[in-house]
Every structure is written in C-alpha cells, then in structure tokens.
Chain A
C-alpha cells in the first residue's frame, strides 16, 4: 500500500513538472471521471436487490441492451440488480488527463491522433452533433485505464459450452498478461518504457496451461502507437516448438476454437482505423458491475492458497455469469468494419462512461442479424483480491460470449491481479515465447 501511495505521488509530481498543455476545465474532469459523485441514475421501478426476469423485463426494456433483453425475455437468464457504485480510476490517470488532454486532436483520417502522452484523450461529453464523436470514444477506450499499466490474469478459465444441453465441451486454462509500453501513469517507468524502437503501445501475452493438446500454446500481440500500423502477432505452438508470425486473418478467427475472436479481447482488440465508429447516444443501462467478494462464487473450478474462487455461471446452458448488474451511464457506439470481408457487419458497444471499459457488446453477422453477445463483468477492485485494492482498475472478472445462432457459448472465469511484477517487459518478447515453451 505504501508503495502504491508513493508511486501515485511520484506520477503526480512528474506529470505536474512536465506539464505543457493548457489546463482542461475541472468540471469536465469531474463529469468524466466521477459521474456518480452527486447522484446515481435511476429508472422508475428499478431497485437494488430486485430481479428482472421474463415477467417484468418489458418494464425495463430501455435499461437493457437488445441482447440481454432478448435473453431475459426468452427466460435464458435473470438479472439481479445491484447498487450503482463509483469505480474511481487511479488518480494518476485522472491527473494525466488534466495535464495532457486539453489539446488532443483527431487527425484527418481514421486512426490518426495528435501526439498524446497519457490519460483520457477526450474527456469532454460526446455530442450527437459531432460526426467523429464515436471515434473519440474509441480512442478513450484504447487509451483507457482498462487493466492499468500492467496486469495479469492467472489463471483464466475458458469453457466452451453447448447452450442447449449445458454440456461443457472443453475448458482451456490460460495465463494472460497485459503491459502498456506507453501512456503509463501509475507503475514505473512512466509515461513510457524505453527503449521502444518500434513505438509499441501495448503488449498482450497469452499462455495456455491446459489441456494437453494445446498446452504451451502462446500468443503475443504487439500493438503500435501508430494506429494505422497492423498489430504484430506471434503464435507459439507447443507441439511444434516454434514461433510463427500470424496474419491478421487469425485475429478475426475463433481463438483456439472458442466463440471469441482475438479481436474481441477486452471488448475490442484491434486498430481504431479498422472500424468506422458511430456514436449512437448516451444511455443509462444495467451493466455487469459488481463486488466479487459479495457474490456466490464457484467453489469447484479453481482453488488456491489465497482462498480465491472464481465467478460462478448459471442460466441457460451455464452461459450466464451469476453476478449483479448496476444502472450506469453508458455510451452506445457502433463499430463497422472497414474491410468488406470481415466476418461481422457491425458491433454495438456499450461503453461504460466512467471507466471506458466495454462490458457489453452485441455482434451482428454479415447479414446484419444478431450473432453474438459479449459480456465482460467488471468487479470493483476494492472488493476483490487484497492486491487489487486501491489500484483503480475495473477488474475484468467474468465473461461470456454467446453465439445465439449456434446456441453455443464460451465463458471466462478470471483471477485478475494488478501487480507489475507479474508482467515484466521481457515477458512481451518473442524470445520469451521460445523460452517459456518446451
């Protein structure tokens, strides 16, 4: 705790000392980062503790996205309503926004942005009159605090399920690691790691632990600061013992046979310039935000010496996380692939206005019909592992990707840890893949 406090103070001083940009109005900052400071949203008849099910879902249709509405209406799941709580991001990120975001500008083309250092690029409230508002929100997501400067999910269970029979087909056990090379605010060094000759923005490193046939498979994604540049992706196959480059065709493919594309990771895991972003409005909706420690957890899937247990699943086919949902301010943003051969026609993202995570996304197939629903449950860091307390990271804690057309889903159960020691820079290197393999 002392270390975190020290780091926060250090970044605040560093940021202050290096400040060049004009100050951004404090009202904008407060509105963007603390939307529930003065009051929480409400919908008539909706109360914390109540359950939304088939019988009353129509009453709350406007507070639900079309995917969740359909599931509840069909009786596939029920929604337990929790209290709206503030997920305050780390003060260093807020401070970086104050100092660096006032003069951030979009470039002429998609995926172009004036140089940024750290923080939320566009903290201002989006406007329906702004034709590029959706793009700005996408940048806020890309440079969002998300997992903070680095974090790990160790372990991470992905289970493929038949939604009709409820049969668990396969469970893959992973470790995931995330690291921001730039736009850092809370973990040394900040605002960037050097040397960084290719100007990487972010690394994602994935290692498969089980089952045997895919054990030791590793995935490394390098995303560049230059958004117009395609990610570099590398795959290590355990049975081949070698690293191979991936073409991006594989990032829109079913990752290891799951219902999730690499492009789906965290809500959207691609370039801003790969999509046309359209802001569709601000809404107050039920979103999967909860306190992990207050849930009835899954005592079977994972046990460890910390006594940590992962989120349990239920509902039709075991495809729905047993979590609570809270009413939150949401930006609805549509992303349409630029590539005509992309396997989807569009995604509708429901971005959480406070955290700029993407806990809900509805995916439409090339015919424009609803195909998949992507739920990423966000746990409050202060009600999770002790190590996460005070980190200001909305902890991705449970996911489900439901393929409504195939009646199939992939569920995810996390142990997310915000600890820089778990994700050192050299873990995000090609050589680490060779060394970590057999």
Chain B
C-alpha cells in the first residue's frame, strides 16, 4: 500500500510560483506526498548458457500534490530506480568483461568468410582495449560496473523521472498544462515495436524488446505544454501539445559487447576489428546546443467513435548510422581508413504522422492505425554503410475481448494483434532491409481467479527475417503485494544471410554472409535466435 505524508513546503512554493509565473501569493504550500514502489528479482536462464539475468530492482515513486488557489493542480512527481544485475558476478564466463567469443556473432550464427575477416567483439572494450574505448567514447563504452548497476551513471539514470506539473484553467474554461522535468512522453499505442512512440530513446540492454516500454524508455529532460480545449461544436475533445526535449541527445542503448542482451548484436560488431582496423573510428554524438534539441507537436481529439492525433517531430535518429571512412593513405593497402572503418552518426530526422482509433460497433472491436513518415533517416547499406532515405512506418492493430466459457473462465480473454509495416522509399539492392517488411504480433491473455492468475502468450513474426518469437507466461498475484511470474521466451530464425562486399573483395566470397549486414536482415528476433529462456520474476509492491 502506498504511504501518504503531509508536509508544508515554503521554499519550494516560492520557487514553483516564480517558475510558473502564476503569482502564488501564499508563503507556504501544504503538500501531501504519496509513495509507492516495489522490489523485484528477475532470474532468467538461457538454453546452453545458464544464468542470463539475475536482476534485482528497487523502484520508488512519489507524488507531491500542492494546494494552490490559483492553479487547478500543482504536482511534483518522481520515480527513483536502482538495479543490480548479478549475472556478471554469477556467470562471468558467459557475460562480463572476460566473456570472449570464439568469433564475431558466435551467439547467433555459425562461421563463414565474414567471421574470418572480422575479429570477435571485445567485451566491455573500456575494460580491455583503450583504443576501442576511446573510439567508442560516449556510446557503447560501458564498463562492466555500468552493466551491473545500469541506473547509476553520469546521466543520473537512477532518477527515472522528476517533473513538476501544473494545470491552469483559463477564463474560457480551457486548461493550460505545463510539465517540466525528466520524464517520458508517450505518443502512440503499440506494443513491442514503436511507430510514433519515439520521443524517448529506449534501453534495449535491459531485456531486448520484451520489457514494458515504461521500464526501458530512457527519460529525458523535457518541457511539455498542453492546451486542452475540450469539446467544441464538432469534436468531443481537442488538445494541442508541444514537447521540447532540451536534454542532451541520447541514442538507444543497444547493449555493450559482453552484456547479456545486445539487440542485433550491434555492441560486439562495434567493438570488432576488420583486419586489425577498429570497426568504429568515432562516435559523433551531437553535443548540447539549442539547435540540437528536439521539438514535437501533437494535435489530438475525439470525433464521434474515432480518436485521432496528428503528430510532427524533429528529432535525432536514435539508432546509430554507420558512415564509411575511405582510405586516404596510399601506403595503407585497404579501401577503408587505417584508424577505423566507420564513424557513428545520429542524423536529424523529421517525422510527420498520425493515429486513428476506431471502435466498430458491428465487430465490437477496436481498430488502431498509426502512421509515421520520416525524412532524414539513414538505413544500413553495404555501400558507404548507410543511405539517407525517407521512411514510411505504420501499424494496424485490432483489439477484441472475447468470452470463451470452454476455457474455464467467465472473464473475457484479450486478443490483440498488430501488423507493423516498414517501407523504404529510396531502397537499394545492397540494403540488408527489404524495401517492404512486416512484423506481426499477437497477444492472447486470459484471467482466472479474479484476475490473480493470468496466463498469456505473445507471438511475433518477422516476415523478412523468417523469425518468430513465442513467449508464453503465467503470473500469479496472490494479494496486494506479491506477484510471481514464470515464462518462456523461445525464438526461431537467424538463418538469413546477406552479401558483404568486403568478403567478396578480401575473401573472394560472393555468397551471402552472416556478418555484418545480415544482423539487420534477421532483425531483433532472428539475431536472438539462441536466446531461448525460462524466466522467473518475483515482485513485492508497497
């Protein structure tokens, strides 16, 4: 149960009043603070590997509600999280700074010409290779300690969220809302994959794509302003919001080589060498400046049975883009530079998109559509490592609740399916991603014993990768405090190859390769094909 504490904030009141310019005249604000949180252990075992996660998390969140005569509401919210993953102490032969691989990509494919040319990734390069560590400075340069304690770093990630929000009712009844601080701003309504929900970067090193986005979005310091106009003669609800992400840019965390979850195995590729030359020469992370901040705008509303949004965002690509560095040294006998093959860049991206939810009375089901068109993205390519192209992403979702008495419960089952599509407008033959690809997901969740026992199954299939993940699980919530979950996570795929010109040039092998490009073809499911796991989680909430 949450705890409530009533206090008086005099200094903070003055600060809040000044910050918001609301003219609060009171010398002190009575405030009520509510705390809640949990401690959790997640222990996962991977087939053939053993322990893959022994994550212990403590999270506490608070909300302080201030009394104010001039504001509709004034609140301070915070979420603090501390994590220790003991897998690096308990299974250090598989994960950690000493966990070397026989060849690059040994965790997901066999050997071929490409693995003969590329050296195995260096685990935690900042523990083992100063040159690589220097090259990767700012990205994928975690030390083992950072993986053990991922929340305690220079970015103060243990502060998951800390924001002040205030609502002011205008004279015409509209509400102006301001939220300032470290926060998550969620656009879109998808599971597993994202179309519009791209404002916060994501930490995939926590558990690939499978943890709730709530837990893996990387909160950013942002200002969110909303003008809630409510109903008008046409719309039942109308709202205009502005998001200014003024934090220093942070890309998605894909997992450093040596970590137990590294999506696309990118971390090991980045800490690899090609014939002794580091794959990555430099990471050009945008420094903080006003022009490097990110800005979004959304107009959303309700029209009859339809809810909709129109979205615009200018931001930075959160996935790294590889820029090839040609050789300029006539004495160096290779087409790439002697001090590093690629630079990593994060280009500016402009997004226009929208979403529609429609309730179909005839089907008694909800259809969801999200669409995002971007310009400025750079997609991986054999030539030059990348190509800038416009992209179209979309998802069609279908949600329905079905009562199936034959399954022994009077509660409805939730059936939710999504089809994600991606279209590369300026596609090239040497791009490892198909011009069009689709990923289908399905969630089937049931409820027994007053929702305390809940089995579910998640299935996702990547059509181009020919890879599938099946994740059945059962959770048991005996009371208000305890939750136990046991699940399986089984993947297939990872067999796709893609020709690599370097293999053709250096190894005279023109057949398909596993490295480095096929990681994109196989996608996050296929690359993780050796990561079949049984997963146990126990949580105590307070």
Contacts and interface: CB of A to CB of B under 8 A. Distances in A.
Nearest to B449: A257
Interface stretch (A64-72, A145-153, A204-212, A323-331): A204-212
Contacts of B481: 211
Interface string A91-108: 000000000000000000
A246 B300 CA distance: 18
B231 A435 contact: no
A364 to B, nearest CB: 13
Contacts of A222: 236
A430 B364 contact: no
A435 B167 contact: yes
Interface string B289-321: 000000000001010110100000000000000
A430 B189 contact: no
Contacts of A211: 1, 480-481, 541
Contacts of B220: none
Contacts of B357: 244-245
A247 B401 contact: yes
A171 interface: yes
B361 interface: yes
A197 B401 contact: no
A212 B411 CA distance: 22
B333 to A, nearest CB: 54
Interface in B178-219: 184, 186, 188-189, 212-214
Contacts of B410: 254, 343
Given A257-B450, A257-B452, A247 B359 contact: yes
B285 interface: no
A431 B452 contact: no
Nearest to B231: A195
Contact of A248 (B36, B228, B364, B411): B364
Interface string B473-498: 00001111101000000000000000
Contact of B399 (A215, A244, A435): A244
Given A245-B399, A249-B402, A435-B228, A171 B480 contact: yes
A246 B403 CA distance: 14
A253 B37 contact: no
B541 A212 contact: yes
A254 B447 CA distance: 9
**Interface size class for chain A?**
35 or more
B447 A244 contact: no
Given A198-B236, A254-B450, A244 B230 contact: no
Given A210-B2, A244-B399, A343-B403, A429 B451 contact: no
B172 interface: no
Interface in A422-438: 425-426, 429-432, 435, 438
B177 interface: yes
A61 interface: no
Interface string A220-247: 0010000001101010000111111111
A252 interface: yes
A210 B480 contact: yes
Contacts of B466: none
A281 B167 CA distance: 52
B71 to A, nearest CB: 13
Nearest to B230: A426
A253 B177 contact: no
B348 interface: no
Contacts of A232: 305, 359
A138 interface: no
A258 interface: yes
Contact of A429 (B230, B234, B447, B541): B230
Nearest to B363: A247
Interface string A359-380: 0000000100000000000000
A404 B167 CA distance: 46
Contact of B214 (A195, A241, A245, A254): A241
A247 B212 contact: no
B204 to A, nearest CB: 18
A256 interface: yes
Given A247-B400, A429-B228, A431-B228, A170 B452 contact: yes
Given A211-B480, A245-B357, A431-B239, A169 B186 contact: no
Given A197-B235, A430-B307, A160 B450 contact: yes
- 3 shortest interchain CB distances as A-B pairs: A257-B451, A249-B401, A212-B541
11 contacts: A170-B450, A197-B231, A232-B359, A239-B212, A247-B365, A249-B402, A254-B411, A254-B451, A429-B230, A431-B237, A432-B228
